[in-house]
């Protein structure tokens, strides 16, 4: 009986750990993706702005 309780506790612990790990990974991935997207957008905007001002200057 005690062994059954031990097994189910072990199983619950394993399940909780798996769930927490999955959640953390999902969160980290979401965060990294958000960050990368923000960075890329910022970079592209900066680049486009630089390009546009260069073009304006070179106009006769």
φ/ψ of residue 44, rounded to 5: -65, -40
DSSP letter assigned to residue 60: -
Which pLDDT score, from 0 to 100, does residue 58 have? 81
What pLDDT is recorded for position 59?
73
pLDDT tens digits for range 14-58: 999 999 999 999 999 999 999 999 999 999 999 999 999 888 888
pLDDT of residue 1: 77
């Amino acid at each position: 009986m005690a062994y059954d309780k031990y097994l189910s506790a072990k199983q619950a612990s394993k399940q909780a750990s798996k769930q927490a790990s999955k959640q953390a990974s999902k969160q980290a991935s979401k965060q990294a993706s958000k960050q990368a997207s923000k960075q890329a957008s910022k970079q592209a905007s900066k680049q486009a702005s630089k390009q546009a001002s260069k073009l304006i200057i070179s106009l006769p």
